[in-house]
Every structure is written in C-alpha cells, then in structure tokens.
Structure 1
Amino acid sequence: MNEIDTTTEVTTRTPHKLAIVVGSVREGRFGPVVASWVAEQAGLHGGFDVHVVDLAEFDVPLSLPAASPKYAGDDYPRPAGMAALTSALADADAFALVTPEYNHSYPASLKAAVDWHFTQWTAKPVAFVSYGGAAGGRHAVLHLENVLTELRAVTVRDGLAFPNHFTTWQDGRPLDPEAAGYAKTLLSQLEWWAGALRSAREATPYPG
C-alpha cells in the first residue's frame, strides 16, 4: 500500500517594498499623521516592507532642467539632495501617495517630485490616500490619476479619502470604525498589483 503524503506545503509571503509618500510640505501639514496611520495599517496587513518618504526631507526644486527625465534615464541631472528620494522611488514596488487638496488640486511639492522622475513610476501600482474639506481630497486624486497614468503607472481603484479631517481624527487615528477595513482593501489591491507588475517587469521590459 502506498503511503499518503500528509505534509502541507508552506508558502512564504515575500513583502513588496511600499513607499508611502507624504506629498505636502506646508507648515502645519496633517500629512505625516495620515502617513503614520497608513504605515501602521500596512504593517498589520503583512504584505509590505514599508518606507515613509516625506518630501519635506528632500531638496525638490520647482525649476527643472530643459531635458526630460523620460529620455535621460539615470543620467538625468538631479540635485544631490534628491538622491535619496530618487533611490526610494526606484526601489519601491508600489506607492501610496498621501495628499491634501489645495484649491481643488494637489500640492506643488508633489507635482515637482513626480516631474523630476519618470522610469521610477513605470509599470508600478499607485494608491491614493487623500484628506481635506468636504471632498476629502478627491479633486486632488482625480488630477493625480491622470498624471500617473501618463507616467505609465497603474492606479489602484480603491483609495482612502478623509473629509473634514480636522474633526474626524483624534489622537492620530480616524474616528470612522470602518477606516481600517477600507485600508485593508486598498492594501490588498496594491499587494496584488505589486506582485503582478513586479513579475511582469522581471520577465519583460516595459515597452515604449
């Protein structure tokens, strides 16, 4: 009689590198509070190696060289103070952009950081976490979706929006009891896309 193999194959979950980008550098900004909570949720999720990237810590000028990073690649002349930011974006398998809404759009600091780079976003998933007044930053996200699509990134459908964050957060946490569940959905979608796109990039260079 043949023996039945009752052993169970154990699969390991390889974490994807997640860059949580704090998009605002404005005095008194709320972004770091939101980013810290998102990082906590990502840690609980278990699918990511989390790195919070705060744009306030880097030299990101609004004035760019005449050449485009789309064609210059690694030879693009970025300021020395941007090297760590470029490295963090290049190493990431996925992004969560934390943005407020200023005048129905996103901050100039975030646009500058995006525009200084190109290949670092290519064929990688991007999720959005927004906050603001009544709209919760959704106008900013609508604009960012267009920008990141142009940079050949893949935007995740389900995002997180926090309307009136000045009254709906307490002690660094959202008061909505369902917020953690929404975050889990966002992170699960981001993890799926991170794995699929990383495998695709490793198998075949992105065309174009």
Structure 2
Amino acid sequence: MKIGVLISGRGSNLKALIDACAKADFPAEIVLVISNKENAGGLDIARAAGIATKVVSHRDYDTREAFDHVMNDALLEAGADFICNAGFMRILSDWFVAQWHDRQLNIHPSLLPAFKGLKVHERVLEAGCKVSGCTVHFVRPAMDEGPIVAQAAVPILEGDTPETLAARILEAEHGIYPEALRLVAEGRVRIVDERTVIR
C-alpha cells in the first residue's frame, strides 16, 4: 500500500509510521509527506528517511477546496492510494474526504467518541476522568467522526497536567497508529454499517 502522510507539526507520529514501514514485513510504504507549514519538523524527519516532501500552504488559497485539490493532485502524482493524517491541523473539505473515502486514517488524542475537537487533555482533566487515551479512525466529513480501527487507554494519574497526560498519550499513539495501518494494509479491516470488522 502506497501511503501519503499529511502533517502540520513536529512529526512524532510520522516518525512512528516511518519506522514501521522500514520493517521488511510491513505491508505499506510512505511515498509522500505533505505539510501545510513549511517549518514543520516532520518535513526534516521525512527528508532524513529519503521520503519525498511537499509544502502546500493553506494561506495561498482562497478556499479550503482549492487547497485540497492541490494536495489531492500531489498525492495522486506520487502514486498514493491511502492517506494517514498525522497531526494535520486543517479541516478537510467534504470533496476531499469523498475522494479518499475509506482510504484515509486519522489519529485523535482521546477515546472517541468522547472529547472530539481541540484542547482535549484540558477538557478531560476538567471533567475528572480517570482514563483517557487515543483513537485511530477512518476519516469522515464531520470532525473526529468515522469508523474506529484501534484505541489505547491511558490512565490519568494524580497530579497530571495537560502536558504530562499528552506526553503519555502520545507514546500510546506511536504504538497503535502503525498497528492500525498494518491491519488496514493487510486487508483485515472491513467497514460494515460504519463500524469496523477486524479479521
């Protein structure tokens, strides 16, 4: 499976995916990394691994869909047939999501469907939760919606701050994202009535 990865930041989940894809038995290869920010740290990680990169700044386009069309063209040109969002901080147009229906994964730092959106860790702590975690799911037009492929639970510890909780959840993300991609790339995930069935 040929993967395009969308990023906006430091690229720690990208690095986890790159490390997984470097293993001889992993059924996927990253062919392109796209960032909407030219200073994203993940671009350096991709280049160091010999992976093609492209910057598509959303500021250069009047509409979300125009921006998405340029990304779509770049992904197709690179031969990508699947997308992983790895800290990509842009809402995708319905048009783009439709082009990649059931061919795009996202990772979110909560146990969806709880705590969609931003400032997740602050909200989790304010709510007094005892457990949080992360979720890998297929992308749908609504934010942080879509069939769930994998989740990891992370206990909330006494004295946790948003920063300490985020760090532990990020470690869990690095474990489940490559494994979720492996399941999909091996053809072991089917979507039935907007739920995943994993063989």
TM-score (norm 2): 0.48
State the structure with more CA Rg: 1
TM-score (norm 1): 0.47
The structure with the largest helix share of the pair is 1
